[in-house]
Amino acid sequence: MIRVDRAKYVHKRLDELYPETPIPLDHVDSFTLLIAVLLSAQCTDERVNKITPGLFLRANNPVNMAEVPVEEIRELIKPCGLSPRKSKAISELSKIIIHEHGGEVPQSFEALERLPGVGHKTASVVMAQAFGVPAFPVDTHIHRLAQRWKLTDGKNVVNTERDLKKLFPKESWNKLHLQIIFYGREYCSARGCNGMVCEICTTLFPNRKTPVEWKK
């Protein structure tokens, strides 16, 4: 099975398994989604969803968030990890959104990626899920699954994003990246599958004899 055929099978099977793709991070608008995604760096969505209610009760918009002392933000988000860096970023980006974007989360990759603490993956999630712009956010899990399924050369997440965008229709990107995350969590986790266990891995590579080794 060549790469294009593998992609077609993956797409079809994921559509069957996950016809609906609710966003895993609880939010009510583009600002709360941006904050939740920023907090999810090196933290599980489940933990983020436990922390954000308290944070958003204190401030759920840029104007109010900019008024909260950084130390208070830090205490509220501490269980997420990296709280010193994340709290500073949340405070600073709130002020930038107020002063440079009229209090509204900017709707471009370039503007989002200029915000403190916002990298390409975070910007991609916000553009895709808040504004409906086609994007293919690639986190570590998607990167690893793409390697297991040989949809990419696996050198880095930049290459993986490029390869996946070439393989799948643009109109499917926003849904598909969530479908891959859902499948990975349920069937093809780091501990649950080594490329030789789950349905998709064994269907694509029935004769695979050795576990897949990760590339960065």
What residues act catalytically?
A: 121, 139
Query: Do 48 and 212 form a contact (C-beta atoms < 8 A)?
Result: no
Contact by Cβ (8 Å): 183, 17: yes
Q: Supply 103's token pair.
A: 């209090």
Three-state DSSP class for residue 214: coil
Distance CA 128, CA 76 (A): 27
58, 72 Cβ separation under 8 angstroms: yes
How far is residue 69 CA from its own chain's centroid? Answer: 28
Token couple for 148 = 């297991």
Both tokens of 214, joined, read 């990760």
Number of H helices, E strands in the chain: 12, 0
C-alpha 142/C-alpha 148 separation (Å) is 10
- d(C-alpha 62, C-alpha 65), whole Å: 5
